[in-house]
Amino acid sequence: MALSADELERYARHIVLREVGGPGQARLKAARVLIIGAGGIGSPALLYLAAAGVGTLAIVDDDKVALSNLHRQVIHATADVGRPKTESASLAIARLNPHVAVEAHAVRLDAGNATALVATHDVVLDGSDNFATRYLVSDACFFAKRPLVTAALGTFDATLTTLWAHEKSPDGKPYPTYRCLFPEPPPPGAVPACAEAGILGALAGVAGSLAALEAIRLIVGFGEGLTGKLLMIDARSMRFETLAYQWDPNNPLSGKNPTLRDLSSHGR
């Protein structure tokens, strides 16, 4: 996909990178990325994906901007309070990079719309704030055969990993699924909500930026990704650690005896 003169200047610092160059920037322009949630993770991820020149960004979020969002959801501004997050994010992206097309879906992701949304994009980035949505997104990506970058925030910690659950590793084993990493969601109430426990705003920026970087690496095709590896960030000690995890042959999605054949178990 050809780049205009304006785009060549805009992305000049990308293009001079050997690992990106003109072909890599063209791949970014041709890419379609689906972002689940325009919140703490989705906000910085959307800004950096837009700045990088990803051609189409689709945003799924049914929430409206609240004043308490603004210390971490940096794509929104004070004047956006009360506005749908998809609308606010779309306007911010248009200001940042007019070459990026935005598809706004002001809906809640569910079993009825997940497959169609995921299947029409090249990469999915999940910044949702609950396990039910994370399982739904990861299962939908498996069935649609799409790579997934998924990140999560705690109060002072964050995690990030990439899933190619529909592919096999060089040793012939399937790559792990989200269910291999987290076989079961935590018990209700075990993980307090953000409004109850709080969250360090700048940490969302770190995690969202890293999620955008991982998506960019997937699209361009450079570096060693986070497939089979969970990046863990501890903001208290400023420590980054990586935990390796593998395919679980007993997982219900891609195990030896799978029991999940579609998204019907998620309800509608």
Calpha distance 74→80 (Å, rounded) = 11
Enumerate the active-site residues: 194
Judged on CB neighbours under 10 Å (0-12, 13-18, 19+), 239 is exposed
* Beta carbons within 10 angstroms of residue 218's beta carbon: 23
Contact 32, 58 (CB under 8 A): yes
Q: What is the largest CA-CA distance in the chain?
A: 54
3-state class of 87 per DSSP?
A: helix
Q: What is the CA radius of gyration of the chain?
A: 18
Q: Per-residue b/e over 177-211, b at no fewer than 16 CB within 10 Å?
A: bbbbbbeeeeeeeeeeebeeeebbeebbbbbbebb
